[in-house]
Amino acid sequence: MELAAMRNLAAALAIGLGAIGPGIGIGILGSKAMEAIGRNPEATGQIQSNMILGIAFTEAIAIYALVIALIVKFV
């Protein structure tokens, strides 16, 4: 295979596979947060800010995959 084609494929695989885990993680986080809000609507604000924080940390893993993909593609 050509080098350029290989690079594109590698970048796509890096971000594509790397997004699976964080996707599942954010799904679980969101569902649990919704459940918690449903059980205890008064705590919505607190749950929301904690959920956003959790999502940010989960997302960081997808960002590492993105960094790798960008490095493979452009560097």
Partner 1 sequence: MKKKLFNVRTLLILLAIVALFVVSGWLGLKVPAPVVSIKSEPLFHIGGFTITNSLFTTWIVMIILVVVSLLATRRMPKDVQSASTSDLLPGGLQNLFEFIIEALHGLTKGIAGHWTPKFFPIIATIFLLVITANWIGLIPGVGTIGILEHPHEVSEATAKGATEFTGFVANGPILTAEPAKRAEEGYFVVPFFRSPSADLNFTLALALISVFLVQYFGVKGNGAGYFKKFFDVSGFKRGAFWGFIGIFVSILELISEIAKVISFSFRLFGNIFAGEVLLLVMAFLIPYLISIPFYGLELFVGFIQALVFMLLTLVFFTLAASSHHGGEEHH
Query: CB of 39: closest distance to partner 1 in angstroms?
Result: 21
Among 19, 36, 37, 66, binds partner 1 (CB under 8 A): 66
4 counts as binding partner 1 under rule CB under 8 A:
yes
13 counts as binding partner 1 under rule CB under 8 A:
no
The CA distance from 21 to 71, in Å, is: 20
The CA distance from 25 to 61, in Å, is: 10
Residues 6+ apart with CB under 8 A from 50: 33
| Binding region for partner 1 (CB under 8 A) | 2-4, 45-46, 49, 52-53, 55-57, 59-60, 63-64, 66-67, 70, 74
